[in-house]
Amino acid sequence: MNYIIPADKVSMPTNGGTTCRFMRPRALTPPTVQLGNSGVDPAAQVPQRDIIDAQMAFFGTGCVINEQVILQDQEGVLAWVSERLAVSMRQAEDLILRDYIVSAASEINAGGGSNNDRNVVVVKPLIIDLECLAA
């Protein structure tokens, strides 16, 4: 699974440091009161938001190319290494996000299925009842 799909990507500005600030709006009360002619009701709401500071972590890797190539032919080797690095970084990003999601989950039941799949123990009386229903 690609865990980055539901995430919001945010670009840090140059020399922005290691803390990123997010603004999360709070939900407004749904309008369930019918509008009248006075223009006063329903009462106005005040929009609010929570400020969340996230500490950034930086990950990276590098490659050592131990291959002699002619100067005119180096683009192919560099392109191949760049592709390998890109795949490696996407996999690392996915693993880091997976570990974060698992650490933030309140309950994980992922034995042979997705989260919250309950394993059903099939017992003999249940099989007998199903055979009777099928007959």
pLDDT tens per residue across span 9-20:
777 778 888 888
What are the structural domain ranges in the chain?
1-26+49-94
pLDDT tens per residue across span 20-44:
888 889 999 888 878 877 767 777 8
**Residue/partner pairs of 43-51 with CB below 8 Å, 24 or more apart:** 49/23, 49/24, 49/25, 50/23, 50/24, 50/26, 51/21, 51/22, 51/23, 51/24
Model-level pTM?
A: 0.48
In the chain, % of residues over pLDDT 70: 70
Residue 84 pLDDT grade (very low, low, confident, very high; cuts 50, 70, 90): very high
